[in-house]
């Protein structure tokens, strides 16, 4: 099975866009040097853009298309550029005023989604976190990134969003690696409360919780990056430096397939409850 894409999605999209600009230049019969000279750029800039090493600005794209006699393609080129720029967003861009804004930014997506699927190899997913666990996670994030302290406000936004769990018109499928249950976040007491909450929330008809036990043969489907699937329209992937937004249907389908394969390895129902209860007992 192909490995689900991560940051390479944004890089590939940038390369493909550069290649498209290269084809426009070649069709116009211009060399890279001639185009750079006409635009007043260093001659290496054209090569960097065409090879995906440098992202062009919107002004760069306009100048490129106009000089190549392709002004009619400018609207489509700018729309493609905007989509590429939105694929990968650095945390510092959305968190510069604190964590509340980052929590609010996803609210419209949550409101319009009816089927949620999430997998995590690191933390309990936000949809099934307790308030104390969320506070610990966001507090740690704020401290690591040196952000303004608005953790209480961010927790309040997250708490309001999680009311969607109890609405009958949405479903949440949660997959967690067993190692996540052992990762102490906040304190042992916070973790015990979180594990008990996981047991309780799994009883809701709209929620299913699956645990991937340690020690399984993972040759066919190894652990992958943390991701959310929103209906069949969008995937968000969380990375250390930022997150990816994936909307290309083929790539969304890859994540849906990865989720299916992970789900086939997970234990659910009474087996999952026994596993969660056993970990809680060790704390």
Specify the pLDDT at position 2. 42
For residue 1, what pLDDT band results from cuts at 50, 70 and 90? very low
pLDDT surpassing 90 at residue 100: no
The pLDDT value given to residue 9: 60
Taking residues 212-241, what's their average pLDDT?
91
- Segment 220-247 shows an average pLDDT of 86
Which residues make up the CATH 1.10.260.40 domain(s) of the chain?
8-87
- Cβ proximity of 87 and 139 under 8 Å: no
CB 241 within 8 A of CB 154: no
Q: Return the CATH fold of 95-282.
A: Endonuclease; Chain A (3.30.870)
**Single pTM value for the model:** 0.72
Report pLDDT for 185.
96
Query: Which among 145, 131, 57, 136 has a CA at the least distance from the CA of 97?
Result: 145
Residue 3: per-residue pLDDT: 44
Answer yes or no: is pLDDT of 105 > 90: no
**Per-residue model confidence (pLDDT) at position 224:** 93
Which residues are 24's β-sheet partners? none
> Residue 218, Cβ neighbours under 10 Å: how many?
13
- In the structure, what pLDDT confidence band is assigned to residue 74 with cuts at 50, 70 and 90? very high
Model confidence band, residue 180 (pLDDT cutoffs 50, 70, 90): very high
Q: Who wins on pLDDT, 100 or 20?
A: 20
Give the Cα separation of 159 and 127 in Å (integer): 9
Asked whether the predicted pLDDT for residue 279 surpasses 70, the reply is: yes
Cα distances (Å, whole numbers) of residue 163 to 157, 240, 267: 11, 28, 26
Mean pLDDT of the chain: 88
Percentage of the chain beyond pLDDT 90 is 59
How confident is residue 10, by pLDDT bands cut at 50, 70 and 90?
low
- Could you tell me where in the chain the CATH 3.30.870.10 domains are found? 95-282
pLDDT (0 to 100) of residue 90: 59
Predicted pLDDT at 82: 74
Q: What is the mean pLDDT of residues 203-215?
A: 95
- What is the per-residue burial (b if ≥16 Cβ within 10 Å, else e) of 70-82? beebeeebeebbe
Lowest mean pLDDT among 153-157, 221-225, 236-240: 236-240
Does 96 score more than 70 pLDDT?
A: no
Position 6 scores a pLDDT of 45
Over range 134-161, report the average pLDDT.
87
Give which of 150, 156, 134, 152 is closest to 98, Cα–Cα.
150
Average pLDDT over residues 263-273: 97
**Residue 133 predicted with pLDDT over 90:** yes
| Domain 8-87 class in CATH | mainly alpha
Looking at the predicted structure, is the pLDDT value of residue 34 above 60? yes
Nearest-angstrom CA–CA distance, 209 and 269: 8
Listed range (21-30, 122-131, 160-169, 269-278) with the worst mean pLDDT: 160-169
Quick check: 128 pLDDT over 90? Answer: yes
């Amino acid at each position: 099975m192909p490995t689900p894409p991560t940051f390479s999605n944004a890089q590939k999209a940038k390369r493909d866009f550069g290649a498209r600009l290269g084809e426009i230049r070649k069709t116009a019969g211009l060399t890279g040097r001639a185009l750079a000279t006409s635009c007043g750029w260093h001659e290496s800039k054209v090569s960097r853009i065409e090879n995906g090493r440098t992202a062009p600005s919107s002004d760069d794209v306009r100048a490129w298309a106009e000089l190549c006699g392709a002004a009619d393609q400018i609207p489509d080129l700018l729309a493609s550029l905007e989509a590429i720029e939105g694929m990968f967003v650095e945390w510092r861009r959305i968190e510069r005023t604190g964590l509340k804004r980052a929590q609010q930014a996803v609210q419209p997506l949550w409101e319009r989604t009816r089927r949620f699927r999430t997998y995590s190899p690191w933390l309990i997913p936000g949809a099934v976190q307790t308030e104390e666990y969320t506070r610990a996670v966001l507090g740690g994030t704020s401290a690591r990134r040196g952000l303004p302290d608005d953790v209480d406000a961010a927790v309040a936004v997250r708490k309001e969003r999680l009311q969607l769990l109890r609405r009958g018109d949405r479903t949440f499928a949660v997959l967690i690696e067993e190692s996540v249950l052992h990762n102490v976040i906040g304190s042992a007491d916070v973790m015990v409360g979180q594990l008990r909450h996981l047991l309780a929330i799994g009883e809701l008809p709209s929620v299913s919780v699956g645990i991937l036990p340690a020690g399984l043969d993972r040759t066919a489907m190894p652990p992958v990056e943390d991701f959310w699937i929103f209906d069949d329209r969008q995937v968000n992937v969380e990375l250390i430096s930022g997150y990816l937004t994936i909307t290309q249907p083929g790539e969304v389908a890859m994540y849906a397939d990865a989720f299916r394969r992970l789900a086939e390895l997970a234990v659910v129902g009474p087996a999952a409850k026994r596993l969660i209860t056993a970990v809680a007992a060790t704390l």
